[in-house]
Copies of this chain bind each other. A is one copy, B any other.
Amino acid sequence: MQVKATLLCLVTALATNVALAYDWQALPDKAPEPADNPTTPEKVELGRMLYFDPRMSETGTVSCNSCHNLMLGGDDNRDFSMGVHGKTGGRSAPTVWNSAFASTQFWDGRAASLEDQAKGPVVNPVEMGMKDLDAALDRVRAIPGYKPYFVRAFGDKDPITVDNAARAVAAFERTMITPNSPYDRFVKGDKKALSASQQRGMQAFNEVGCTSCHSGAAFNGPTLPIGQGFFMKFPTFADNDYVARYDLLKDKGRFAVTAKDADKYLFKVPTLRNIALTAPYFHNGSVATLDEAVRVMAKVQLNKDLSDAQVKDIVAFLNGLTGEFPELAMPRLPATSGWTFNKR
Complex Cα spacing A59 to B66, Å: 12
Of B60, B84, B276, which one neighbours A78 at CB under 8 angstroms? B60
Contact B71 A341 (CB under 8 A): no
Q: Which residues of B contact A61 (CB under 8 A)?
A: 66, 76, 78, 82
Output the nearest chain B residue to A276 by Cβ-Cβ distance.
B335
Number of copies of this kind of chain in the complex: 2
Contact B288 A339 (CB under 8 A): yes
In this complex, the interface size class of chain A, counting residues with CB under 8 Å from chain B, is 35 or more
Q: Which residues of B contact A78 (CB under 8 A)?
A: 59-61, 340-342
Q: Which residues of B contact A332 (CB under 8 A)?
A: 71, 325
Among A27-35, A153-161, A277-285, the one that faces the other chain is A277-285
Output the nearest chain B residue to A340 by Cβ-Cβ distance.
B280
Q: Which residues of B contact A70 (CB under 8 A)?
A: 330
A20 within 8 A of B: no
Q: Which residues of B contact A66 (CB under 8 A)?
A: 61
Q: Which residues of B contact A260 (CB under 8 A)?
A: none
Of B77, B335, B343, which one neighbours A336 at CB under 8 angstroms? B77
Sampled A-B contacts (18; CB under 8 Å): A60-B77, A61-B78, A69-B333, A72-B335, A77-B336, A77-B340, A79-B341, A79-B342, A84-B86, A86-B86, A277-B335, A279-B336, A279-B340, A280-B340, A327-B329, A327-B330, A328-B329, A329-B330
